[in-house]
Structure 1
Amino acid sequence: MSDSPVDAAEVRHVAELARVDLDAEEVEAFAAQFADILAYFDALDEVPEVEGSSDLVNVMRPDDPRECLSQEEALANAPETEEGYFKGPRVS
């Protein structure tokens, strides 16, 4: 591989952590892509800092408390409930 800051071993390690199987061509392609991404971060280091503060205005509305749904109303349209809670599919 060239002078890339990311070598094939690092790509394989990240792929293993992500449980992704990569062949040799994909490892080389990802190493090059990772190197490009790191180069973009290096380019960000060259951006000058902005002096002073901008005049920011909060455009969000105030948070006004109001009545909420009862537990029965909230569960009324749920396809499945259990002991007063929403019941969803099992995640394996």
Structure 2
Amino acid sequence: MKKYLIPMIAAGAALAFTITPALAQTTPPTSTAPAQSFTAPHHERHPAIRAAIRALEKAKEELKAADHDFGGHRAQALADCDKAMAQLKLALEYDKK
């Protein structure tokens, strides 16, 4: 399991850093249809983002519990996990607005 830890962290960080700019650059579609009655906005659950957060949390716990420091990379990996999780959580919060 430990041999998959660094690739999982890298995948989570890559997901966080690629999704955030994509979310920031999207523009809402314009509609030429006549206006309809107002309904409450629908917020998606974003299961992939939530799964990435859970994977990063698990990777962070495994890094903390490890008996070694991964050649001096543990501290940076923990910091990167925190940054990635923060960006993913911001993306979810942005969707609520």
Higher strand proportion: 1
Q: Same fold (TM over 0.5)?
A: no
Larger radius of gyration: 1
Structure 2 length-normalised TM: 0.29
Structure 1 length-normalised TM: 0.31
Which of structures 1 and 2 has the larger relative contact order (alpha carbons within 8 angstroms, sep 6+)? 2
